[in-house]
Structure 1
Amino acid sequence: MFVGHFGVAAAVKAAEPRVPLWSLMLATQFLDVIFIGLYMAGGVESFRAVTSGTYGEALIDAGYTHSLLGALLLSALYGGVAAWRWGRKPGLVLGALVFSHWLLDLLVHRADLPLLPGNAGDLPLLGLGLWQTPWATAVIEGVLLAAGAVLYFRSVRRRATDTRRALVAGAVMSLLLVAGLAVDVLS
Protein backbone atom coordinates (compact mmCIF):
# COMPACT_ATOMS: atom_id res chain seq x y z
CA MET A 1 0.00 0.00 0.00
CA PHE A 2 1.57 3.23 -1.09
CA VAL A 3 -0.54 5.32 -3.42
CA GLY A 4 -3.72 4.23 -1.66
CA HIS A 5 -2.59 6.26 1.35
CA PHE A 6 -2.50 9.36 -0.86
CA GLY A 7 -6.02 8.65 -2.07
CA VAL A 8 -7.18 8.76 1.55
CA ALA A 9 -5.37 12.11 2.00
CA ALA A 10 -7.13 13.54 -1.08
CA ALA A 11 -10.51 12.40 0.26
CA VAL A 12 -9.79 14.00 3.64
CA LYS A 13 -8.71 17.22 1.89
CA ALA A 14 -12.11 17.30 0.19
CA ALA A 15 -13.83 17.14 3.58
CA GLU A 16 -11.37 19.44 5.39
CA PRO A 17 -10.25 22.04 2.83
CA ARG A 18 -8.52 24.26 5.41
CA VAL A 19 -6.00 21.58 6.40
CA PRO A 20 -2.86 22.00 4.25
CA LEU A 21 -2.56 19.30 1.59
CA TRP A 22 1.15 18.77 2.33
CA SER A 23 0.33 17.97 5.97
CA LEU A 24 -2.30 15.45 4.87
CA MET A 25 0.11 13.77 2.45
CA LEU A 26 2.85 13.66 5.09
CA ALA A 27 0.40 12.29 7.66
CA THR A 28 -0.45 9.33 5.43
CA GLN A 29 3.24 8.44 5.17
CA PHE A 30 4.43 9.55 8.62
CA LEU A 31 4.90 6.00 9.94
CA ASP A 32 7.06 5.17 6.91
CA VAL A 33 9.04 8.42 7.23
CA ILE A 34 9.94 7.52 10.82
CA PHE A 35 10.61 3.91 9.71
CA ILE A 36 13.15 5.16 7.14
CA GLY A 37 14.85 7.27 9.81
CA LEU A 38 15.11 4.27 12.14
CA TYR A 39 16.31 2.07 9.27
CA MET A 40 19.05 4.57 8.43
CA ALA A 41 19.97 4.97 12.11
CA GLY A 42 21.81 1.68 12.26
CA GLY A 43 19.01 -0.70 11.38
CA VAL A 44 16.77 -0.17 14.41
CA GLU A 45 14.04 -1.22 11.97
CA SER A 46 14.63 -3.15 8.76
CA PHE A 47 13.11 -5.22 5.99
CA ARG A 48 14.06 -8.36 4.12
CA ALA A 49 12.99 -9.89 0.83
CA VAL A 50 10.59 -12.81 1.00
CA THR A 51 9.29 -13.73 -2.46
CA SER A 52 10.63 -12.14 -5.58
CA GLY A 53 8.28 -11.20 -8.35
CA THR A 54 5.34 -10.42 -6.07
CA TYR A 55 3.82 -7.19 -4.85
CA GLY A 56 5.14 -6.26 -1.45
CA GLU A 57 8.25 -8.41 -1.74
CA ALA A 58 9.51 -7.50 1.70
CA LEU A 59 8.77 -8.54 5.24
CA ILE A 60 9.31 -5.54 7.45
CA ASP A 61 10.75 -5.47 10.92
CA ALA A 62 9.13 -2.25 12.04
CA GLY A 63 8.60 -3.18 15.65
CA TYR A 64 8.30 0.41 16.76
CA THR A 65 6.75 2.52 14.02
CA HIS A 66 4.33 -0.12 12.77
CA SER A 67 3.35 -1.68 16.07
CA LEU A 68 -0.22 -0.90 17.06
CA LEU A 69 0.89 1.04 20.14
CA GLY A 70 3.73 2.75 18.25
CA ALA A 71 1.32 3.84 15.51
CA LEU A 72 -1.09 5.21 18.10
CA LEU A 73 1.71 7.15 19.82
CA LEU A 74 3.05 8.55 16.53
CA SER A 75 -0.51 9.48 15.53
CA ALA A 76 -0.96 11.35 18.82
CA LEU A 77 2.40 13.11 18.35
CA TYR A 78 1.59 14.24 14.80
CA GLY A 79 -1.94 15.22 15.78
CA GLY A 80 -0.66 17.12 18.81
CA VAL A 81 1.81 19.15 16.79
CA ALA A 82 -0.90 19.84 14.19
CA ALA A 83 -3.35 20.91 16.89
CA TRP A 84 -0.76 23.29 18.31
CA ARG A 85 -0.19 24.74 14.83
CA TRP A 86 -3.68 24.76 13.27
CA GLY A 87 -6.19 24.02 16.04
CA ARG A 88 -7.95 21.09 17.67
CA LYS A 89 -10.02 19.81 14.73
CA PRO A 90 -7.15 19.71 12.20
CA GLY A 91 -5.03 18.02 14.87
CA LEU A 92 -7.64 15.30 15.37
CA VAL A 93 -8.06 14.86 11.61
CA LEU A 94 -4.32 14.59 11.01
CA GLY A 95 -3.77 12.25 13.95
CA ALA A 96 -6.52 9.97 12.62
CA LEU A 97 -4.99 10.14 9.16
CA VAL A 98 -1.61 8.98 10.51
CA PHE A 99 -3.36 6.02 12.12
CA SER A 100 -5.18 5.22 8.86
CA HIS A 101 -1.74 4.20 7.55
CA TRP A 102 -1.57 1.39 10.11
CA LEU A 103 -5.12 0.25 9.31
CA LEU A 104 -4.40 0.05 5.57
CA ASP A 105 -1.09 -1.69 6.25
CA LEU A 106 -2.95 -4.23 8.38
CA LEU A 107 -4.96 -5.10 5.28
CA VAL A 108 -1.99 -5.61 2.93
CA HIS A 109 0.98 -6.68 5.08
CA ARG A 110 1.87 -10.25 5.78
CA ALA A 111 1.81 -11.04 9.51
CA ASP A 112 4.64 -8.65 10.44
CA LEU A 113 2.83 -5.92 12.43
CA PRO A 114 3.33 -6.26 16.22
CA LEU A 115 0.87 -5.08 18.83
CA LEU A 116 3.51 -3.62 21.17
CA PRO A 117 6.76 -1.81 20.33
CA GLY A 118 9.63 -4.22 19.76
CA ASN A 119 7.06 -7.03 19.85
CA ALA A 120 7.21 -6.95 23.64
CA GLY A 121 5.55 -10.01 25.12
CA ASP A 122 6.10 -11.91 21.88
CA LEU A 123 2.42 -11.53 21.00
CA PRO A 124 1.07 -12.70 17.63
CA LEU A 125 1.98 -10.51 14.66
CA LEU A 126 -0.83 -9.06 12.59
CA GLY A 127 -1.41 -8.68 8.86
CA LEU A 128 -4.06 -9.98 6.49
CA GLY A 129 -1.57 -10.49 3.64
CA LEU A 130 -3.38 -8.93 0.70
CA TRP A 131 0.05 -8.26 -0.84
CA GLN A 132 0.13 -11.96 -1.68
CA THR A 133 -2.67 -11.29 -4.19
CA PRO A 134 -1.14 -8.53 -6.33
CA TRP A 135 -4.17 -7.85 -8.52
CA ALA A 136 -6.43 -7.36 -5.47
CA THR A 137 -3.93 -4.99 -3.88
CA ALA A 138 -3.69 -2.97 -7.10
CA VAL A 139 -7.49 -2.79 -7.37
CA ILE A 140 -7.89 -1.58 -3.78
CA GLU A 141 -5.15 1.01 -4.19
CA GLY A 142 -6.63 2.15 -7.49
CA VAL A 143 -10.09 2.49 -5.95
CA LEU A 144 -8.71 4.47 -2.98
CA LEU A 145 -6.76 6.77 -5.29
CA ALA A 146 -9.64 7.23 -7.75
CA ALA A 147 -12.17 7.89 -4.97
CA GLY A 148 -9.85 10.41 -3.34
CA ALA A 149 -9.22 12.15 -6.65
CA VAL A 150 -12.93 12.36 -7.48
CA LEU A 151 -13.87 13.66 -4.01
CA TYR A 152 -11.05 16.21 -4.11
CA PHE A 153 -11.98 17.40 -7.62
CA ARG A 154 -15.66 17.78 -6.66
CA SER A 155 -14.66 19.72 -3.56
CA VAL A 156 -12.43 22.10 -5.51
CA ARG A 157 -15.08 22.55 -8.18
CA ARG A 158 -17.70 23.41 -5.53
CA ARG A 159 -15.41 25.95 -3.85
CA ALA A 160 -13.80 27.39 -6.98
CA THR A 161 -14.58 30.97 -7.86
CA ASP A 162 -13.63 30.34 -11.47
CA THR A 163 -13.65 27.43 -13.88
CA ARG A 164 -9.92 27.69 -14.56
CA ARG A 165 -9.04 26.84 -10.95
CA ALA A 166 -11.34 23.80 -10.99
CA LEU A 167 -9.81 22.58 -14.27
CA VAL A 168 -6.27 22.93 -12.91
CA ALA A 169 -7.20 20.98 -9.77
CA GLY A 170 -8.85 18.30 -11.90
CA ALA A 171 -5.79 18.06 -14.16
CA VAL A 172 -3.43 17.74 -11.18
CA MET A 173 -5.53 15.01 -9.57
CA SER A 174 -5.88 13.20 -12.92
CA LEU A 175 -2.10 13.20 -13.33
CA LEU A 176 -1.69 11.90 -9.79
CA LEU A 177 -4.21 9.17 -10.50
CA VAL A 178 -2.46 8.07 -13.69
CA ALA A 179 0.97 8.21 -12.00
CA GLY A 180 -0.30 6.27 -9.01
CA LEU A 181 -1.86 3.56 -11.11
CA ALA A 182 1.33 3.33 -13.19
CA VAL A 183 3.37 2.83 -10.02
CA ASP A 184 0.97 0.06 -8.95
CA VAL A 185 1.16 -1.70 -12.31
CA LEU A 186 4.94 -1.42 -12.60
CA SER A 187 5.75 -2.51 -9.04
Structure 2
Amino acid sequence: MFAGHFGLAAGVRAKYPEVPLWALMLGTQLLDVVFVPLFVSGVETMDDHIGNGYGEAIIHADYTHSLLGALLISGLAWIVAKRFWRGRGGRVLAAVVFSHWLLDLIVHRADMPILPGNWGGLPTLGLGAWSHPWLAISLELVLLAAGLGMYVHAAMKASSGRKKRYAYLSGAVLGCLLVFALLNDVLGLF
Protein backbone atom coordinates (compact mmCIF):
# COMPACT_ATOMS: atom_id res chain seq x y z
CA MET A 1 0.00 0.00 0.00
CA PHE A 2 3.06 2.23 -0.33
CA ALA A 3 1.72 3.97 -3.44
CA GLY A 4 -1.83 4.20 -2.12
CA HIS A 5 -0.63 6.22 0.86
CA PHE A 6 0.93 8.74 -1.51
CA GLY A 7 -2.25 8.95 -3.58
CA LEU A 8 -4.20 9.80 -0.46
CA ALA A 9 -1.69 12.53 0.41
CA ALA A 10 -2.08 14.09 -3.05
CA GLY A 11 -5.85 14.15 -2.63
CA VAL A 12 -5.59 15.74 0.80
CA ARG A 13 -3.28 18.41 -0.62
CA ALA A 14 -6.03 19.41 -3.05
CA LYS A 15 -8.39 20.10 -0.15
CA TYR A 16 -5.89 21.58 2.32
CA PRO A 17 -3.29 23.59 0.36
CA GLU A 18 -1.88 25.18 3.50
CA VAL A 19 -0.02 21.94 4.27
CA PRO A 20 2.87 21.39 1.82
CA LEU A 21 2.77 18.27 -0.34
CA TRP A 22 6.14 17.12 1.00
CA ALA A 23 4.78 17.18 4.56
CA LEU A 24 1.69 15.20 3.57
CA MET A 25 3.81 12.66 1.67
CA LEU A 26 6.13 12.25 4.64
CA GLY A 27 3.18 12.16 7.03
CA THR A 28 1.43 9.41 5.15
CA GLN A 29 4.59 7.29 5.42
CA LEU A 30 5.61 8.32 8.95
CA LEU A 31 4.69 4.97 10.53
CA ASP A 32 6.99 3.25 8.04
CA VAL A 33 9.72 5.87 8.57
CA VAL A 34 9.67 5.12 12.31
CA PHE A 35 9.49 1.39 11.50
CA VAL A 36 12.85 1.42 9.66
CA PRO A 37 15.19 2.04 12.64
CA LEU A 38 13.14 -0.37 14.77
CA PHE A 39 13.44 -2.99 12.01
CA VAL A 40 17.19 -2.42 11.62
CA SER A 41 17.66 -2.78 15.37
CA GLY A 42 15.56 -5.98 15.47
CA VAL A 43 12.76 -4.54 17.60
CA GLU A 44 10.27 -4.98 14.75
CA THR A 45 10.61 -7.76 12.17
CA MET A 46 9.22 -9.20 8.95
CA ASP A 47 8.49 -12.85 8.27
CA ASP A 48 8.70 -13.69 4.57
CA HIS A 49 8.02 -17.42 4.83
CA ILE A 50 5.01 -16.97 2.52
CA GLY A 51 7.21 -15.23 -0.04
CA ASN A 52 8.69 -11.82 -0.70
CA GLY A 53 6.38 -10.59 -3.46
CA TYR A 54 3.62 -7.99 -3.25
CA GLY A 55 2.16 -8.12 0.24
CA GLU A 56 3.45 -11.61 1.00
CA ALA A 57 5.50 -10.78 4.10
CA ILE A 58 3.95 -10.80 7.53
CA ILE A 59 5.09 -7.63 9.23
CA HIS A 60 5.66 -7.64 12.96
CA ALA A 61 5.54 -3.88 13.42
CA ASP A 62 4.21 -4.35 16.91
CA TYR A 63 4.97 -0.81 18.02
CA THR A 64 4.70 1.50 15.01
CA HIS A 65 1.69 -0.23 13.46
CA SER A 66 -0.22 -1.00 16.64
CA LEU A 67 -3.41 1.01 16.98
CA LEU A 68 -2.12 2.84 20.06
CA GLY A 69 1.34 3.32 18.51
CA ALA A 70 -0.20 4.85 15.39
CA LEU A 71 -2.31 7.18 17.53
CA LEU A 72 0.78 8.24 19.52
CA ILE A 73 2.84 8.91 16.37
CA SER A 74 -0.11 10.85 14.91
CA GLY A 75 -0.34 12.88 18.13
CA LEU A 76 3.36 13.73 17.99
CA ALA A 77 2.96 14.74 14.33
CA TRP A 78 0.06 17.01 15.33
CA ILE A 79 2.17 18.70 18.04
CA VAL A 80 4.97 19.43 15.55
CA ALA A 81 2.72 20.33 12.60
CA LYS A 82 0.54 22.82 14.44
CA ARG A 83 3.63 24.96 15.03
CA PHE A 84 4.12 25.30 11.27
CA TRP A 85 0.60 25.17 9.84
CA ARG A 86 -1.60 26.25 12.75
CA GLY A 87 -4.46 24.25 14.22
CA ARG A 88 -6.20 23.00 11.09
CA GLY A 89 -2.96 22.13 9.32
CA GLY A 90 -1.77 20.23 12.38
CA ARG A 91 -5.02 18.27 12.57
CA VAL A 92 -4.88 17.52 8.84
CA LEU A 93 -1.33 16.21 9.08
CA ALA A 94 -2.16 14.11 12.15
CA ALA A 95 -5.13 12.61 10.29
CA VAL A 96 -2.92 11.82 7.29
CA VAL A 97 -0.41 10.11 9.58
CA PHE A 98 -3.20 8.00 11.11
CA SER A 99 -4.64 7.23 7.67
CA HIS A 100 -1.59 5.03 7.16
CA TRP A 101 -2.84 2.69 9.88
CA LEU A 102 -6.38 2.68 8.46
CA LEU A 103 -5.19 1.82 4.95
CA ASP A 104 -2.83 -0.82 6.30
CA LEU A 105 -5.74 -2.32 8.24
CA ILE A 106 -7.39 -3.05 4.89
CA VAL A 107 -4.39 -4.73 3.25
CA HIS A 108 -2.43 -6.36 6.08
CA ARG A 109 -3.11 -9.86 7.22
CA ALA A 110 -4.04 -10.05 10.89
CA ASP A 111 -0.60 -8.83 12.00
CA MET A 112 -1.42 -5.40 13.47
CA PRO A 113 -1.75 -5.36 17.27
CA ILE A 114 -4.02 -3.06 19.21
CA LEU A 115 -1.46 -2.25 21.91
CA PRO A 116 2.29 -1.69 21.37
CA GLY A 117 4.29 -4.89 21.61
CA ASN A 118 0.96 -6.74 21.53
CA TRP A 119 0.71 -6.26 25.28
CA GLY A 120 -2.02 -8.37 26.75
CA GLY A 121 -2.06 -10.74 23.79
CA LEU A 122 -5.15 -9.13 22.31
CA PRO A 123 -6.22 -10.27 18.82
CA THR A 124 -4.23 -8.74 15.99
CA LEU A 125 -6.02 -6.86 13.22
CA GLY A 126 -5.96 -6.86 9.43
CA LEU A 127 -8.51 -7.53 6.73
CA GLY A 128 -6.01 -9.25 4.44
CA ALA A 129 -6.57 -7.64 1.03
CA TRP A 130 -2.94 -8.54 0.27
CA SER A 131 -4.11 -12.16 0.11
CA HIS A 132 -5.93 -11.09 -3.05
CA PRO A 133 -3.27 -9.12 -4.97
CA TRP A 134 -5.62 -7.82 -7.67
CA LEU A 135 -7.95 -6.43 -5.01
CA ALA A 136 -5.06 -4.71 -3.22
CA ILE A 137 -3.62 -3.35 -6.48
CA SER A 138 -7.07 -2.12 -7.50
CA LEU A 139 -7.47 -0.30 -4.19
CA GLU A 140 -4.09 1.36 -4.71
CA LEU A 141 -5.02 2.35 -8.26
CA VAL A 142 -8.25 3.95 -7.04
CA LEU A 143 -6.36 5.92 -4.38
CA LEU A 144 -3.72 6.98 -6.90
CA ALA A 145 -6.20 8.01 -9.58
CA ALA A 146 -8.51 9.84 -7.17
CA GLY A 147 -5.65 11.59 -5.36
CA LEU A 148 -3.88 12.62 -8.55
CA GLY A 149 -7.14 13.73 -10.13
CA MET A 150 -8.02 15.87 -7.12
CA TYR A 151 -4.51 17.33 -7.00
CA VAL A 152 -4.44 18.26 -10.70
CA HIS A 153 -7.96 19.67 -10.59
CA ALA A 154 -7.11 21.87 -7.59
CA ALA A 155 -3.81 22.99 -9.17
CA MET A 156 -5.54 23.92 -12.43
CA LYS A 157 -8.33 25.75 -10.62
CA ALA A 158 -5.84 27.76 -8.56
CA SER A 159 -3.71 28.79 -11.54
CA SER A 160 -4.26 30.96 -14.54
CA GLY A 161 -2.37 32.08 -17.62
CA ARG A 162 1.29 31.18 -17.61
CA LYS A 163 1.05 29.41 -14.25
CA LYS A 164 -1.25 26.79 -15.81
CA ARG A 165 1.81 25.27 -17.50
CA TYR A 166 3.43 24.81 -14.10
CA ALA A 167 0.23 23.21 -12.81
CA TYR A 168 0.28 20.76 -15.73
CA LEU A 169 3.96 20.07 -15.16
CA SER A 170 3.57 19.51 -11.41
CA GLY A 171 0.63 17.18 -12.08
CA ALA A 172 2.63 15.23 -14.66
CA VAL A 173 5.64 14.91 -12.36
CA LEU A 174 3.47 13.83 -9.44
CA GLY A 175 1.65 11.37 -11.70
CA CYS A 176 4.94 9.84 -12.81
CA LEU A 177 6.12 9.52 -9.22
CA LEU A 178 2.84 7.89 -8.15
CA VAL A 179 2.96 5.41 -11.04
CA PHE A 180 6.59 4.62 -10.17
CA ALA A 181 5.57 4.05 -6.54
CA LEU A 182 2.83 1.66 -7.66
CA LEU A 183 5.22 -0.22 -9.95
CA ASN A 184 7.65 -0.45 -7.05
CA ASP A 185 4.88 -1.94 -4.89
CA VAL A 186 3.74 -4.46 -7.46
CA LEU A 187 7.05 -5.45 -9.02
CA GLY A 188 9.27 -5.01 -5.96
CA LEU A 189 11.79 -2.84 -7.79
CA PHE A 190 13.61 -1.87 -4.59
TM range (shorter): over 0.9
In structure 1, what is the equivalent of residue 56 of structure 2?
57
Distance 1:101 1:88 in 2: 21
The letter for the 2-side match of 1:183 is N
In structure 2, what is the equivalent of residue 26 of structure 1?
26
In structure 2, what is the equivalent of residue 125 of structure 1?
124
The letter for the 1-side match of 2:89 is P
The CA deviation string for residues 101-151 of structure 1, in whole angstroms up to 9 with x for no partner, is 000000000110000011011000000111010111111001101110000
Distance 1:78 1:105 in 2: 18
In structure 2, what is the equivalent of residue 39 of structure 1?
39
Distance 2:88 2:52 in 1: 43
Q: How many residues matched?
A: 186
In structure 2, what is the equivalent of residue 8 of structure 1?
8
TM-score normalised to structure 2 length? 0.93
Give the alignment of 1:13-162 within 5 angstroms. Answer: 13-40=13-40, 42-52=41-51, 54-161=53-160, 162=163
Deviation at 1:57, TM superposition (A): 1.8
Deviation at 1:165, TM superposition (A): 1.7
In structure 2, what is the equivalent of residue 168 of structure 1?
169
SS at match of 2:29: helix
Say if 1:43 and 1:184 are closer, same or farther in 2 by CA, change over 3 A.
closer
Deviation at 1:164, TM superposition (A): 1.2
Distance 1:88 1:160 in 2: 26
Distance 2:78 2:20 in 1: 13
Say if 1:61 and 1:184 are closer, same or farther in 2 by CA, change over 3 A.
closer
Q: Where in structure 2 are there 5+ consecutive unaligned residues?
A: none
The CA deviation string for residues 40-66 of structure 1, in whole angstroms up to 9 with x for no partner, is 2x2111111031264212111111100
Distance 1:107 1:70 in 2: 17
The CA deviation string for residues 68-108 of structure 1, in whole angstroms up to 9 with x for no partner, is 00000100001110002221111000000000000000000
Aligned-CA RMSD value = 1.3
Q: Identity across aligned pairs (percent)?
A: 55
